[in-house]
Amino acid sequence: MTIVIYIFSGLFLLLAAALVFTWWQRRHPGALLLAATYAMASALALLLHTWWPLVIGFLSAWSLRLMGLDPGAAERKRKSAG
């Protein structure tokens, strides 16, 4: 189970790095919130050696995306309206 936690934590860190890069290019505040969510979930999972921070982090990031805070939401809204 430990190797699974390390793999998913690594994926979450990659997602966080990609979202920080996206924030740096577009300055979308939702990208920074998502990056912080993924990074904190990954760090907690690695520090506590448990899987539940990853699940909570994923659900938190998903709820942020449902609220429209993902960087692609504004572009999709602009395309569908225009």
Tell whether 41 is covered by a domain: yes
So what's the pLDDT on residue 69? Answer: 86
Tell whether 18 is covered by a domain: yes
So what's the pLDDT on residue 77? Answer: 72
Tell whether 43 is covered by a domain: yes
Tell whether 3 is covered by a domain: no
Q: What is the extent of the structural domain holding 25?
A: 13-76
Q: Please tell me the total count of domains within the chain.
A: 1
Rounded to whole angstroms, how far apart are CA atoms 67 and 17? 21
Tell whether 24 is covered by a domain: yes
Which stretches of the chain score pLDDT less than 70? Answer: 74, 82
Tell whether 81 is covered by a domain: no
Tell whether 7 is covered by a domain: no
pTM score of the predicted model:
0.87
So what's the pLDDT on residue 82? Answer: 63
So what's the pLDDT on residue 74? Answer: 66
Tell whether 33 is covered by a domain: yes
So what's the pLDDT on residue 70? Answer: 83
Q: Which of 31, 36, 39, 41 is nearest to 68 (CA)?
A: 31
